[in-house]
Amino acid sequence: MKISNLYTIIILTLLFTSCGGDDELTFPSKYVYSKPTINDQGVYKVTNTEITKLTGSIGSFALDKKIYKDSLVSYINFIFATGQISSFELISPTTLKVTSIENGVSISQEGTYTLDGNKIMIDGNPIITLSDDFSEIVVCGELAILSGTSGSNNTRFRYPNFEICATTDPLISVQNIVDQATGSTRYDTISLDYVNMIYRRQ
């Protein structure tokens, strides 16, 4: 082998090694809450057991969606300040530590997880996703605006609700909300956004 060819191989090896260092998942790796981003899934009309996505004008829902989107960061940050997850730490290939803040007190719990591709599976639920370069963890949340009636007088209501995603299929998400209605509560219109809560590796 010529010296020039050997030199080229060494340089290329060093370059690929140095470039790949940040793309490796090492332990422990801690991910701290950074910011939310939003993915609009539309507005759905609920009629008895039928759910239909509205494709035309959504009336006053348009204003409500804009208000909630404009205040999304403050809303999500408020949720995190009142007891939601502030960080994840992958301690080992099977052990995960979750830290939350409750009434100003940091509380940490450890549990087990498995990796399925880039999905972090906890109790079989793939609600957490690792980015391809392992620099971020993304947790899916549902931000819904619920409209309907309640009580014997069918009093109108409209309010926002935030939950961790049980699915990323919008029709199933809306159906789950409808199925969870209790008492005389009846939803007739539901706006849905998926919120990606991003955690960055320290």
- pTM, two decimal places: 0.74
Q: 74: pLDDT confidence band, cut at 50, 70 and 90?
A: confident
Per the CB < 8 A criterion, the answer to whether 35 and 198 are in contact is: yes
Query: Phi and psi at residue 187, in whole multiples of 5°?
Result: -90, 140
Mean pLDDT of 171-175: 96
Lowest mean pLDDT among 56-60, 87-91, 107-111, 135-139: 56-60
> Which one has a higher pLDDT value, 139 or 19?
139
- Per-residue model confidence (pLDDT) at position 78: 66
Q: Kindly state the tokens that stand for 192.
A: 């849905």
Dist CA 178 CA 190 (whole Å): 9
Mean pLDDT of 16-45: 79
